[in-house]
Chains A and B, each alone.
Chain A
Amino acid sequence: MRKVAVVGAGMTKFMRRAQETGKELAWETAKLALDSCELTVKDVDCVVMGTAPDAFDMVHMKHEYLSDGAGAWRKPYVRGFLGGGTGVFTACQAWYHVASGMFDVCLAVTEEKMSSCLPHPQGAFVTCWDQFTESPLGTSLLWFFAWEMNRYMTSHGITEREIALVSVKNKKNALHHPCAQLPGEITVDDVMKSEIMAWPVKRLDVSPTSDGAAVLVFASEEVAKRITDRPVWVQGVGWCLDTMYIGQRDLYYPKYVEYAARMAYDMAGIKDPRREIDIAEPYDPFSYKELHHGEGLLLCDKGEAVRLLVDGETQKTGRQPWCPSGGALGVGNAIAATGVMKVAELFWQLRGEAGERQVPGRPRRGVAQAWGDEMQVGTVVVLGV
């Protein structure tokens, strides 16, 4: 299998409402990423695009519209889509574009513009469900999260206060992220007192909706060694999709994340992820999700993630930092772009370029994960130096 490296990264500030069009966001960020590794769009052989539902922008075939903004003019260009798992999958897709031997430099562009969906992007999700068994219930996405959070808490005897610590940790980590939308010093009481959205989910348990873009540059071994002395290698990729019928799944554990993680770990030759992984970026659109996904990534036993959190092991200075970037809760949740933001965080941390967010020691390997669809997809990337 051909070796593939990440050689450049860039992202915009995540914000509630960007003035730029999606095309402009995509180009601005693609340029940043290319500049970071001193390449130009002429050096790019192909482009992959990650962007979540067309319904956010109400643009049909959104990727076609975005193509020139993504730097894909007269180049091979394709979009992958796995709901909320899209961002990390875009990295997997860029990996196989290069690993296949067909291309040497691949630009992985993710862009999201949620603010154009009025009054709220939640509206775009009501047409997700099965039209016979689920839509008639009149559900919103938040209800599904409430079911899952409740099931997770009940299965393991976890409290709301313990879960609130995830928000406290991630928003604090985000204080040092220049692109963060909702960083802050908050307390567990702040989370507990925030408005109940759908019990047990409270406002501060939820990541914001965001506009933003994030871009990575992937290169073959030969090109990577020529243009940088600090390539970050893609060691493993994995993705897995569970059944579309939510009623057939036990929500207490994300088995699909485990399967995806096992694929990535097998590829990377990782036997014991708890010891062999230095930093993790599990997807945290909701506070409990970081714990849920950490377990799916086999970073601890089922139900034990909360112990790591309470003991401070997943803090920036802990044994295995989780979401040192600040995650979706702190940096913002521009769906597809958040997945790539997480992979970019690994890239910066592993190169020692994360500035004030830099975790102590010299991390040599990290895992990033995203999740999506109807609580059903896991996408995983392992990077290492």
Chain B
Amino acid sequence: MQRRVAIIGVGYTPFRPITPDMSFKEMMFEAAQKAYEDAGVCPRKDIDAFVTCEEDFTHGRSIFNIHTPDNIGAVMKRIHTLPAESLYGLADAFMLINTGLVDVMAVESHSKASNMLTPDYLVAHAMDPVYNKPLGYNPYFIAGMEMNRYLHDSGVTREQCALVSVKNRANALLNPDAAYGDRIAMDDVLESETMFWPLNRLDMSSPADGGIVMVVACEEKARDLCDKPVWVRGVGWCSDAPSLETREWGEAVYARLAGEMAYRVAGVTNPRIEVDFAEVDDTFTYKELQHLEALKLCAPGQAGFMVEEGATQREGAFPVNVSGGSLGVGRLDEATGLQKVLEVVLQLRGEAGPRQLEDVSVGLAQSWRGVPANSGAVAILSNE
């Protein structure tokens, strides 16, 4: 350890609530073409290995990775699938490049959530098949319980959570690729339908479709191929207890440990000073606050005040989810983590258009695997 690793190309399709005009194969192809064009590489000649991140059930098939190689130019090459959140794919590329076995690698993930007619029933199959699934609950009750416990432990209020939704949906208005940009007020969130108490409809993100591909390279190749490499300074990932009966409900332990690992790899000792902005998981409003605390991006118990004071606004001292996050962009299933990385890359390259942040050099992307999982990953990126 350790070779320096950089993201040298990104490609993506716009994030939309439905995509009737494209199959997942076409989405993969479009994102891959754009990423290879961006990096100036030919997948047949220049890319040594590929990793795709997708789950079988969200595609309604067994062994989804059968369908991956042709769409991204990976036929007869090293390619494998991680049935995991896509930030794990970036970590995977980071490791493979660090072995010295490969120099250039592509990471792919996509969401075709609109194909799922009854996604909640599907997620119910992720519950423990012996103890929990037979109870027949909608699995999102877990988020309600977790939110309640988090509010109780941390002193964060429902109003502060609602402000996260207001902020992220407003941020999304400046992101032409976001599906759910909106100008709403705190009361709109508090008065929206109660879904899983205390979680209201506007506290929850909605699904969206989209494909993302990134080209990742070792330092020599990155300098050779790219004017504006974005360095992957550290990655970390962690799984906490999967069972509902034994897990920690108030604290996002997986995010804390994944963050500690990423900071260690990146050599970051004081994240609140060294990191300029973050894209953290905001599948539900309280998750953004819970994750900011777990990642030590604010003092313990201060996340609620941060959002209240506007510190996490785009113009604030520590911008969070400038892209709009999952609340504004849409929840992209396995591709959510790469969307977070994408925003950090665009900001660090200075290509974020009207939502561009000034003077940023280090950004953090974090993901959570979603209900009912208790795991997630972190990446720390820098343009220096």
Interface residues in chain A, defined as those with a beta carbon under 8 Å from any beta carbon in chain B: 1-2, 21, 52-55, 57-68, 72-83, 89, 93, 96-97, 99-102, 124-125, 127-128, 130, 237-245, 255-256, 259, 263, 267, 372-374, 376
Pick the residue among B1, B2, B125, B242 that contacts A68 (CB under 8 A): B242
**Closest A residue, CB atoms, query B55:** A61
Distance of A77 Cα from B91 Cα, bound (Å): 11
Is residue B41 contacting chain A, with contact meaning CB distance below 8 A?
no
Cα(A64)–Cα(B305), bound, Å: 33
Q: Is the CB of A244 within 8 A of B126?
A: no
Q: How long is the Cα–Cα vector from A67 to B57 in the complex, in angstroms?
A: 19
With A64-B369, A96-B101, A241-B69 already in contact, the answer to whether A102 and B242 are too (CB < 8 A) is no
- Contact indicator A79/B240 (Cβ below 8 Å): no
Taking a contact as CB atoms under 8 Å apart, the answer to whether A96 and B95 are in contact is: yes
Report the contact-size class of chain B (Cβ under 8 Å from the partner): 35 or more
Q: A60-B125, A63-B83, A73-B240 are in contact. List 19 more A-B contacts (CB 8 A).
A: A2-B99, A21-B129, A54-B56, A54-B57, A64-B126, A76-B261, A82-B81, A83-B65, A96-B101, A100-B98, A101-B2, A127-B61, A238-B78, A239-B79, A240-B76, A243-B70, A243-B76, A244-B66, A259-B76
CB-nearest residue of chain A relative to B254? A74
Query: In the assembled complex, how far is the CB of residue A108 from the closest CB belonging to chain B, in whole angstroms?
Result: 14
- Give Cα A187 to B273, complex, Å: 73
**In the assembly, what is the distance between CA of A256 and CA of B79, in Å?**
12
Chain A residues positioned under 8 Å from B65 (CB to CB):
81-83, 241, 373
Q: Is the CB of B74 within 8 A of A241?
A: yes
Given the complex of chains A and B, what is the CA–CA distance between A240 and B239 in angstroms? 29
Instruction: Report the separation of the CA atoms of residues A76 and B257 in the bound assembly, to the nearest whole angstrom.
Output: 9
Assess whether A96 is in contact with B99, with CB atoms less than 8 Å apart: yes
Which chain A residues border B369 with CB–CB below 8 Å? 61, 64
- State A89–B96 Cα separation when bound (angstroms): 13
Contact B237 A255 (CB under 8 A): no
Are A81 and B242 in contact, CB atoms less than 8 angstroms apart? no
Chain A contacts for B238, CB-based, 8 A: 74-77
Nearest CB on B from A24, distance (A): 10
Contact A78 B77 (CB under 8 A): no
Partner of A128 from the list B63, B92, B128 (CB cut-off 8 Å) is B63
Least CB separation from A69: chain B residue = B242
- Against A, the Cβ 8 Å flags (1 = close, 0 = not) of B347-384 are 00000000000000000000001001111000000000
B76 engages A89 (CB within 8 Å): no
Contacts of A237 in B (CB 8 A): 101
Chain B proximity of A285: nearest CB distance (Å): 14
| With known contacts A78-B88, A239-B80, A65–B69 Cβ distance under 8 A | no
Q: How far is the CB of A59 from chain B (nearest CB, A)?
A: 5
Chain A to chain B contacts (Cβ below 8 Å), 29 pairs: A54-B55, A55-B57, A59-B126, A60-B123, A64-B126, A64-B239, A73-B239, A74-B240, A76-B238, A78-B88, A78-B237, A81-B83, A83-B63, A83-B66, A96-B95, A96-B96, A96-B101, A100-B96, A101-B98, A102-B98, A124-B62, A237-B101, A240-B79, A241-B68, A241-B69, A242-B75, A244-B67, A244-B68, A373-B66
Partner of B95, one of A59, A102, A239, A245: A102
Given A58-B129, A60-B125, A239-B80, A1 contacting B373 (CB threshold 8 A): no
Shortest CB-to-CB span from A344 to chain B, Å, is 21
Which residues of B sit under 8 angstroms from A100, Cβ to Cβ? 1, 94-96, 98-99
Contacts of B100 in A (CB 8 A): 1, 99
In the assembled complex, the Cα of A298 lies from the Cα of B130 at a distance in Å of: 46
Please provide the chain B residues from 156 to 186 with a CB less than 8 Å away from any CB of chain A in the complex.
Answer: none
Q: Smallest distance from the beta carbon of A289 to chain B beta carbons, Å?
A: 17
What 0/1 readout, one digit per residue, does chain B (270-281) give for beta carbons within 8 Å of chain A? 000000000000
- Distance (whole angstroms) from the CB of B133 to the closest CB of chain A: 8
Q: Does B60 lie at the interface of the complex (its beta carbon under 8 Å from any beta carbon of A)? A: yes
CB distance from B61 to the nearest CB of A (A): 4
Q: Are A241 and B75 in contact (CB under 8 A)?
A: yes
Bound-state Cα–Cα, A63 to B81, Å: 13
Cross-chain contact A102 with B239 (CB below 8 angstroms): no
- Residues of A near B241 (CB, < 8 A) are 68, 73-74
Pair B55/A65 contact, Cβ less than 8 Å: no
What's the least CB distance linking A340 to chain B, in Å?
Answer: 16
* A130 lies within 8 A of B62 (CB): no
C-alpha gap A162/B75 in the complex (Å): 33
Bound-complex Cα distance A93 to B78 (A) = 12
* Minimum CB–CB distance for B91 against chain A, Å: 8
Q: How many Å lie between the Cα of A80 and that of B375 in the bound state?
A: 16
Contact B373 A64 (CB under 8 A): yes
Residue of B nearest to A237 (CB): B101
Residues of B within 8 A of A73 (CB): 239-241
Closest residue of chain A to B67 (Cβ to Cβ) is A244
Residues of B within 8 Å of A60, CB to CB, are 55, 57, 122-123, 125-126
Q: Do A68 and B243 have beta carbons less than 8 Å apart?
A: yes
A97 CA to B46 CA in the complex, in Å? 23
Name the distance in Å between A256's Cβ and chain B's nearest Cβ. 7
Q: How far is the CA of A242 from the CA of B130 in the complex (A)?
A: 38
Contact between B239 and A74, CB atoms less than 8 A apart: yes
Chain B residue at minimal CB-CB distance from A76: B237
Complex Cα distance, B245 from A281, in Å, reads 42
- Residue of A at shortest CB range from B64? A81
Most chain B Cβ neighbours within 10 Å, of A238, A240, A245 = A240
Q: Find chain A residues with CB under 8 A from B91 CB.
A: 78
CA distance A240 to B76 in the complex (A): 6
**Cβ of B80: which chain A residues have Cβ within 8 Å of it?**
80-82, 89, 93, 239, 241
Question: Mask for B42-72, Cβ within 8 A of A = 1, else 0?
Answer: 0000000000000111001111011111100
